[in-house]
Amino acid sequence: MTLVLVAHGTRDPAGAVVIHEVARQVRTRLPGVPVRVAYADVRPPSLRSVLRSLSGPAVVVPAFLASGYHVRVDVPAQAGPGVTITPPLGPAPALVAAAHDRLIAAGWTPRDTLVLAAAGSSDPRALADVHRAAVLLAARTGTPVRIGYAATAHPHITDVVSSAPGRVAVCSWLLAPGRFHSVLTTTGAPVISAPIGPHPKLADLITRRYLESRCYSNAA
């Protein structure tokens, strides 16, 4: 059964490189399982076109950190009836741990004012997922966590950083480089972590989502 990893999509070539590297890591964890990459928006191939090219069943894993429009509407519409779609990746504790690793690598210390930076959404369920990630990050770091958004939602990340006291560390709650992460680099924060990217914990989580969906399908 093919695993189709569907990401948001970006015009930044570096973002596509990251998603393909994540797919490569998943292939090493699932020998013999075909792993394909698709995008919900912005760049080809679309999820619909990838699924049409397959000769057998597929499991679609949405590579999203919150349950916004793409996860709830766009991905199911492109997948069509009868296709298994796993829950999105966020706000899984494993990904919060991966984001924490990136934050440490960027130079964060517990004395910094910590801000979780997410893409943003008009969907309250997606924003609730971001708040859940902030709660998990606060528990992991022992530090209060503020939230800022790169687009759509409020407060905007630039406003949060400019009003925060002391040295500010921005934890990127994003999967790959692209337009949203580029916004973070304009905030002036002295510490900005890299996107989660091809972190082993991300590949492990995608693998687990696929295997859990297979077990459920076999049980049914």
Domains and CATH numbers, the chain: 2-89+198-219 (3.40.50.1400), 93-192 (3.40.50.1400)
pLDDT tens by residue, 73-97:
989 999 988 899 999 998 999 999 9
Residue 220 pLDDT level (bands cut at 50, 70, 90):
very low
Is it the case that residue 70 has pLDDT exceeding 60? yes
Query: Are 19 and 5 spatial neighbours (Cβ–Cβ below 8 Å)?
Result: yes
Residue 68 pLDDT level (bands cut at 50, 70, 90):
confident
**Terminus-to-terminus CA distance in the chain, angstroms?**
16
Across the range 10-21, mean pLDDT stands at 92
The 3-class SS string of 88-123 reads CCCCCHHHHHHHHHHHHHHCCCCCCEEEEEECCCCC
Q: Residue 154: how many CA atoms within 13 Å on its side-chain side? A: 0
Across the range 119-144, mean pLDDT stands at 96
pLDDT score of 217:
52
Amino acid at residue number 142: G
Is it the case that residue 11 has pLDDT exceeding 70? yes
Q: Is the pTM of this model over 0.85?
A: yes
pLDDT tens by residue, 31-60:
999 999 999 887 899 999 999 999 899 999
Higher-confidence residue of 72 and 190: namely 190
Is it the case that residue 219 has pLDDT exceeding 70? no
Across the range 90-117, mean pLDDT stands at 97
pLDDT score of 53:
96
pLDDT score of 216:
56
Is it the case that residue 161 has pLDDT exceeding 80? yes
pLDDT score of 38:
97
Is it the case that residue 215 has pLDDT exceeding 90? no
Across the range 22-38, mean pLDDT stands at 98
Amino acid at residue number 156: H
